[in-house]
Structure 1
Amino acid sequence: MTRLPMSKLLASTCLLALAGCSVLAGGDRQSTTIYAPQVRITADPAWPQVDWQLAIAKPSAARLVDSPRINVRPTPGELEVYRGATWSQPATDMLEDTLLRGFEDSGRISGVARIATGIRSDYKLTIDLRRFEADYRGTELPAATIELNAKLIHSIDQRVVAARTFNTVENASSTATGDVAKAFETALDKTSTELIGWTLLSGQADAQRMAQTPAGK
């Protein structure tokens, strides 16, 4: 792990991103391992079949969270990054891609797309990704920690249909970076599965309420 003082964390993160391309004093080139979690969501039989369309907004996150670097928190007041390791894409992109594939592969929704495509949606899913880091939490082994807040919004009147904070903690089997990456893959699977199910159930409940409400009421 590379210890980064909080006051210099942003600048150090930028420099570390280039470290894999620099030549060390001994003439050797530092290698960088790229980790690309592969998540395939399995639809829950309890998920409803819906006939409305959903637009997924690009998740938002603080700059230090939305980074290709793999963050680790050894103590509550410190944030570091793993040396010689990186994600294949920033955390928000991983989450957005996983959700889009999960909704599509579930076969439970008539239409889903990124909001940037201009889809004419009935509902919009917005996400604030708060944490995407390994956290030791005072223990000997780190845990992949994903925390986000999601809001399901009715597209026509911008009404917040439902809002919820999701928090997933998945213990790594060792301190090795590869095992930490595997824990993140499991945590991303659990978080995305729970979020997809919540979205379908919340949206369907709202659609049914609207269908039962007389016009103008």
Structure 2
Amino acid sequence: MGLFPRYKRAARVAGAAILAALLAGCSGLGSKAPPPTYELMAVQSFPRGVGPIRGQLIVAEPSALALLDSDRIMVRLANGQTEQLANAQWEDRLPKLLQARIIQSFENGRRLRAVGKPGDRLVADYQLLIDVRAFQISADSNTADIEIAAKIVGDRSGRIRAARVFKVSVQTDSTEGPAAVAALNDAFNRAVVQLVLWTTRVI
């Protein structure tokens, strides 16, 4: 007689374990694998510099509209609408990613005494302010299109030393996946080469 309560308790425990396993299996079936993550690459090499290395620069996090302020890779359709590139995302929010890669590109260019971001305890001469106006694949033209507006501002005076808009379009064989991301990387690198050379001339 004393054995039956033990069997009942064992049955309840086994039943609970089976139910938990079934629920875990169901939740696994409903979950989606995250989309592939893509890198934005810094510029590795530049034309040979002329003149002395000078100036210290702070690169602020670029500003962008909400559509571009995320890790989504955007595609502009022929009808003017914008959607996310399927099965792809950046490794971080685009403005933060741009800031990191632009700083790395300046470092690789070796044309400034120092470059960093706000909070790096850098006694900067200037700040580089960037507004991202376009960073997308255009489906109607099969191009990767980038447009950034840059301002060089005196760190202590707050005065604008120079301003310029950089626009680059690169043809792509596909508006999907790795080919689209490769075209965006190509366009970004071309824009950043221009940005770095222009900035170092102004400073």
Which sections of structure 1, spanning at least 5 residues, go unmatched? 1-22, 204-217
2:74 and 2:83 in contact (8 A); partners too = yes
Q: Deviations over 1:154-180 (max 9, x none)?
A: 122111110001111111122332100
Tell me the residue number matched to 2:164. Answer: 164
Amino acid at match of 1:69: R
Residue 180 (1) aligns with residue 180 (2): yes
Tell me the residue number matched to 2:196. Answer: 196
1:60 aligned residue (54, 60, 63)? 63
Moved more, 38-47 or 191-200: 38-47
- What is the Cα deviation at residue 32 of structure 1? 1.2
1:41 and 1:189 in contact (8 A); partners too = no
- What is the Cα deviation at residue 99 of structure 1? 1.2
Q: Deviations over 1:173-195 (max 9, x none)?
A: 22332100000111111111110
Q: What is the identity percentage for the equivalent residue pairs of Structure 1 and Structure 2?
A: 27
CA 68–58 in structure 1, closer or farther in 2 if over 3 Å, else same: same
User: Within 5 A, what are the aligned runs for 1:34-73?
Assistant: 34-46=37-49, 48-73=51-76
CA 158–28 in structure 1, closer or farther in 2 if over 3 Å, else same: closer
Q: TM-score, normalised by structure 2?
A: 0.79
- What is the Cα deviation at residue 88 of structure 1? 0.8
1:84 partner SS: strand
CA distance in 2, matches of 1:48, 1:74: 45
2:151 partner SS: strand
2:55 partner SS: strand
Task: Please say which structure displays the higher CA radius of gyration.
Answer: 2
User: Within 5 A, what are the aligned runs for 1:106-185?
Assistant: 106-136=109-139, 138-139=140-141, 142-185=142-185
How many residues are aligned here? 178
CA 128–73 in structure 1, closer or farther in 2 if over 3 Å, else same: same
2:43 and 2:193 in contact (8 A); partners too = no
Amino acid at match of 1:105: N
CA RMSD of aligned residues (A): 2.2
2:132 and 2:148 in contact (8 A); partners too = yes
CA distance in 2, matches of 1:28, 1:67: 22
Amino acid at match of 1:167: K
Q: Deviations over 1:77-103 (max 9, x none)?
A: 201112221111122122111111111
CA 27–65 in structure 1, closer or farther in 2 if over 3 Å, else same: closer
CA distance in 1, matches of 2:117, 2:94: 16
Amino acid at match of 1:152: I
Tell me the residue number matched to 2:86. Answer: 83
CA 176–77 in structure 1, closer or farther in 2 if over 3 Å, else same: closer
Which sections of structure 2, spanning at least 5 residues, go unmatched? 1-25
2:40 and 2:101 in contact (8 A); partners too = no
CA distance in 1, matches of 2:132, 2:34: 29
